[in-house]
Amino acid sequence: MPHDHSQHAIGRQADRARLRIALALILALMAGEVVAGIVAGSLALLSDAAHMLTDAAALALALFAGRLADRPPHGGYTYGLRRAEILSAQANGATLLALAAVIGFEATRRIADPPAVEGSIVIVVALAGVAVNLAATWVLAGANRESLNVEGAFQHILTDLFAFIATAVAGLLIVTTDFAEADGLAALIVAALMIRAGWGLLRDSGRILLEGSPRGIDPKEVAETLSAQADVVEVHDLHVWEVTSGFPALTAHVLLEPDCDCHQRRRDFELLLHERFGIEHTTIQVDHAHGEQGPIELETGPSDRSDAG
């Protein structure tokens, strides 16, 4: 187990190094894009720059939250500050949705009354953005994306890549066909991509904050698996949730046959849950059943019945 924790810490440090590299790339490109957007009069470029600002914020928050999450438990924070990453994801998702609303409104106005746009500048900057975002995407693709923070940052960068492609197409249309509305349409595409990424972050982080069961783990299946083991009489008060992304936890109360070794069975249950469901943090209360028992109950929520055993 110490070896596993050591490897996990090394992996998190490597992820932070990747995040720092991606952040430097994004900040450099964002500064150049703001200048180019103002000179060219392009809302698509400025909306990309706004999106990149949220990318930079997402990366910075991911770095900060990752440091907080690495702090050991202390005082009243018995799990440490692991959920700082989830709060960071919530903030990033909300910011994306707010910016998408502003950009969408302005894009609609520009489609109705398109201003003059320097298409050649738009093309040059967009192609530079594609190159930089390809590099940043490649850097983050090698990180551990089980973390909602890292996955959120990766999705931000990937969204930017698609947005720059749309912007380059808009610039090409402006240069070749004088279709000025293309700039506003490209901005709408950027806003749509931001909504998709923002909603995904809010949905996934909200599931963790509301202590829903981890994706891919069905509490009913867990209960049925435990109840099918030798010597098990009853399984109830079973709860499965995520402390933070990639950290599932489980508690349960299991009643066993009177003559079995309850301590050994508990160890068996822990190994089973780890191997089959990937749950390492388990708290299982095991008791011997006394007297006659009713039918096996597979409850996955709080029980309104008191147990005599």
Q: Do 156 and 56 form a contact (C-beta atoms < 8 A)?
A: no
Residue 117: both structure tokens together: 């746009």
- Whole-number Cα distances in Å, 249 to 285, 287, 306, 309: 14, 20, 24, 25
Angle subtended by helix axes 43-69 and 119-141, to nearest 10: 20
Q: Is the pTM of this model over 0.75?
A: no
Q: Which residues, 6 or more positions from 80, have their beta carbon under 8 angstroms from its beta carbon?
A: 69, 71, 72, 73, 74
Residue 53: both structure tokens together: 């600002």
Nearest 5 degrees, angle CA 114-CA 115-CA 116? 125
Residue 73: both structure tokens together: 């438990």
298 secondary structure, DSSP code: B
Q: What is the CATH superfamily name and number for domain 2-209?
A: Cation efflux protein transmembrane domain (1.20.1510.10)
Distance CA 160, CA 287 (A): 55
Q: Is 88 exposed, middle or buried (0-12, 13-18, 19+ CB in 10 A)?
A: buried
Per-residue three-class SS string for 75-122: CCECCCCCCHHHHHHHHHHHHHHHHHHHHHHHHHHHHHCCCCCCHHHH
Q: CATH 1.20.1510.10 in the chain: give the residue spans.
A: 2-209
> 219-288 adopts what CATH topology?
Alpha-Beta Plaits (3.30.70)
Q: CATH 3.30.70.1350 in the chain: give the residue spans.
A: 219-288
| Local confidence pLDDT in tens for the 309 residues of the chain | 444 444 555 566 777 788 888 889 888 888 887 888 788 777 767 776 776 787 787 788 878 887 887 788 888 888 888 888 888 888 878 888 888 898 888 888 888 888 777 778 878 888 888 888 888 888 887 766 667 777 777 777 877 788 788 888 888 888 888 888 887 888 888 888 889 888 988 999 999 999 999 988 999 999 999 999 989 999 999 999 998 888 899 999 999 998 889 889 999 999 999 999 999 899 999 998 875 444 444 444 444 444 433
Distance CA 41, CA 46 (A): 9
Q: Do 107 and 173 form a contact (C-beta atoms < 8 A)?
A: no
